[in-house]
Structure 1
Amino acid sequence: MSTFEIIMAIINVAALIIVPIAAVFIGQKLQDRNQKRKDKMEIFRVLMMNRGIGWTADTVRALNIIDVVFSDNDSVRARWREYYNQLCIQTPNVMQRKQIQEAQDKLLEAIAQSLGYKKQVTWETIQNPYIPQGMLNAMQQQQNIQNGQEQLASAVEIFTKAFRSANPQPDSTTVQRKEDIHANT
């Protein structure tokens, strides 16, 4: 066997060992990258879907994983921190609600840009969600029902306290004495 043949045999053996390992490694990296993009798209999809109707459980879950999923994007994480700080206001006034909405829109814009949708998902697109009037009416009616239930519960509680204070319950020794008197007669 010549030196050239020996070198070729070594290269072939090395290729047989290295190529499958490299293929697995590259395939895993591509799958990881694809999964990260899917996770980012899912967050964006959920936030865009619910931007006009307020909070849902999915929205809260999506917001809570932004720091993990977008760990490689400082712009998105900075916008999330700004939005989070706005959300921490306990009872926002009209101006603060507007700032909260703007912070949410800026977060969505940063996510859209990070996903490569800078030209497709514009500021105008983000700020104009579709919300049918019937849905708004149903949401308002649901809120009115919930408010009514809370008011009814408060009224029942007040009535119950007033009734108990006007009609005190006898303690157990008074009840026992009455039972003893009835038993002896």
Structure 2
Amino acid sequence: MSLTDILMITATALSPLIAVQVTRYLDDRNEERGRKLQIFKILMATRAYTLAPSHVEALNRIDLEFSSKRRQEKAVLDIWQQYLDHLGNKTMQPDAWADKRVDLLVDLLHAMGHALDYDFNKTQIKNGTYAPVAHGRIEEEQEKIRQFAIELLEGKRVLPMYVTNFPNQNTPDQSP
């Protein structure tokens, strides 16, 4: 048996194993990218509704899916850390805090888009969202209702009641 025959037999025997390993590697890589894309798409879709549970969940998954070993993903993690620190900052004035929050979220989404090969500029990310005014009004009304209910339950607010109709006292008693 010649060296060529041995190499042919070895290649024939190993090729299915190599094919399976390559397929598994590619599937794992695609699944990993899919999870990152899911986070990015949720954050982009909910960037006008940052209190949405799916938005918060996606933010909390960034540490799990992005790696500090890759330069572009490390940039995502660095900006996420800045954004997270800002979200916990209670010392700023509300308007300044809100403006900086938006800027940091835009920076985060821009870095994520760059790491995932999307070509969005920061202006597109910041201004390219649709948020109906009615949604904001509904959220404000729901917050007022929640606050009223809490104050009522805590005894800090009373529920005014007015009797508008007394039973007619001139009707004869219907008991035997």
Any runs of at least 4 consecutive aligned residues in structure 1 with deviations exceeding 4 A, and if so which? none
Aligned to 1:45: 41
Cα distance, 1:135 vs. partner? 1.4
Cα distance, 1:97 vs. partner? 1.8
Describe how 1:1-185 pairs up with structure 2 within 5 A: 6-71=2-67, 72=70, 73-90=73-90, 92-93=92-93, 94-118=95-119, 121-128=120-127, 129-155=129-155
Residues 127 and 62 of structure 1, relative CA distance in 2, 3 Å threshold: same
Partner Cα distance (2:4, 2:20) in 1: 24
SS in 2 for 1:40: helix
Aligned to 2:164: none
Unaligned runs of 5+ in 1: 159-185
Unaligned runs of 5+ in 2: 159-176
Which whole-Å deviations, capped at 9, do the CAs of 1:60-110 have from their partners, x for residues lacking one? 221112122111311100110110110111364211221111111100000
TM value normalised by structure 1: 0.75
TM value normalised by structure 2: 0.79
Aligned to 1:174: none
Q: What one-letter code is carried by the residue in structure 2 that aligns with 1:103?
A: L
Which whole-Å deviations, capped at 9, do the CAs of 1:102-160 have from their partners, x for residues lacking one? 11110000001111112xx22122112210112122111111111211221232699xx
Residues 13 and 35 of structure 1, relative CA distance in 2, 3 Å threshold: same
Partner Cα distance (2:151, 2:125) in 1: 37
Partner Cα distance (1:20, 1:42) in 2: 32
Residues 144 and 55 of structure 1, relative CA distance in 2, 3 Å threshold: same
